[in-house]
Amino acid sequence: QSALTQPASVSGSPGQSITISCTGTSTDVGGYNYVSWYQQHPGKAPKLMIYDVTNRPSGVSNRFSGSKSGNTASLAISGLQAEDEADYYCSSYSSSITVIFGGGTKLTVL
Amino acid sequence: QITLKESGPTLVKPTQTLTLTCTFSGFSLSTSEVGVGWIRQPPGKALEWLGLIYWDDNKRYSRSLKSRLTITKDTSKSQVVLTMTNMGPVDTATYYCAHRRPDSSWFRYYFDYWGQGTLVTVSS
């Protein structure tokens, strides 16, 4: 497996909530609670938003939350704001290749 | 305050070896549980993890690129060096170095500080 599976794009209006899924296998997402999410604005470096499936680093808005069920992890964003428009990547520990990223999801705030 | 910055050539020819240096501040690579990783991103594409070096000089590499990668550190200079051999056009990407969030677990690879990235183009 070369990458975790994410939807190419999602969209929502300001104030709404959206969810981005990240599907892997039992050797990565499903086998470990070591999932993280990164936000990347155009031309910028990624920013860690969620780690250990559900934890937020200091300074990250509580509008961002993570969860996992089976082989699929999810990132939820509530109260969408224009500044949330970015690319989002999930990542997981993998027993086969150590670290695996998702293909990325472009979030558009309408 | 933790900062990292990548430096190296912006253009390499096919078959050449790429050497990138990550110069950091705000932490020491001699401190337990600290690590520095390398991640790349081809233009318009997804992130790809390359490898990581720990404070104790242990290293982890991407399985698919392991034969081409070497990561070393110079603690006294606060630098980490990535070497990638036999470069090809598919290796054209922005290369990032990043600080691994300190953790005693070998399974947690969370990067909480990133460099600005450096675009490396492979072309003759």
A44-91 per-position pLDDT tens digit: 999 999 999 999 999 999 999 999 999 999 999 999 999 999 999 999
What is the pLDDT at residue A96? 85
**Beta strands A9-12; A105-109: pairing state:** parallel
Rounded to a whole number, what is the distance in Å from the CA of A23 to chain B's nearest CA?
A: 15
What is the pLDDT at residue A100? 95
Token digits for B100? 């691994």
Using the beta-carbon criterion (under 8 Å), do A89 and B63 form an inter-chain contact? no
CB B99 within 8 A of CB B36: yes
User: SS3 of B12, please?
Assistant: strand
**Which residues of B, range 43-82, sit inside 8 Å of A by Cβ?**
45-49, 52, 60-64
What is the pLDDT at residue A103? 97
| CA gap A85, B10 in Å, rounded | 29
Residue B79's CB is within 10 A of a number of other CB atoms, namely 17
Burial of A58 (0-12, 13-18, 19+ CB in 10 A): exposed
Nearest partner of A54 among A41, A70, A66, A71, judged by Cα? A66
| CA gap A68, A20 in Å, rounded | 11
The tokens 């069920």 sit on which residue? A69
Chain A contact for B33 (CB, 8 A cutoff)? no
What is the pLDDT at residue B107? 86
N residues, chain A: 110
CA-CA-CA-CA dihedral for A88, A93, A95, A96, to nearest 10: 40
What is the pLDDT at residue B72? 98
Residue of A nearest to B60 (CA): A98
What is the pLDDT at residue A2? 81
Segments in chain B below pLDDT 70:
none
pLDDT of A1 over the 70 cut: no
Residue of A nearest to B107 (CA): A93
Using the beta-carbon criterion (under 8 Å), do B101 and A102 form an inter-chain contact? no
What is the pLDDT at residue B124? 94
What is the average pLDDT across A10-35? 96
A89 interaction partners in chain B (CB closer than 8 Å) = 46-47
Q: What percent of chain A has pLDDT over 70?
A: 99
CB A89 within 8 A of CB A102: yes
Nearest partner of B81 among B90, B92, B73, B69, judged by Cα? B73
Q: Mutation test of the interface with chain B: which of A99, A100, A105, A106, choosing the one with the most B Cβ atoms within 10 A?
A: A99
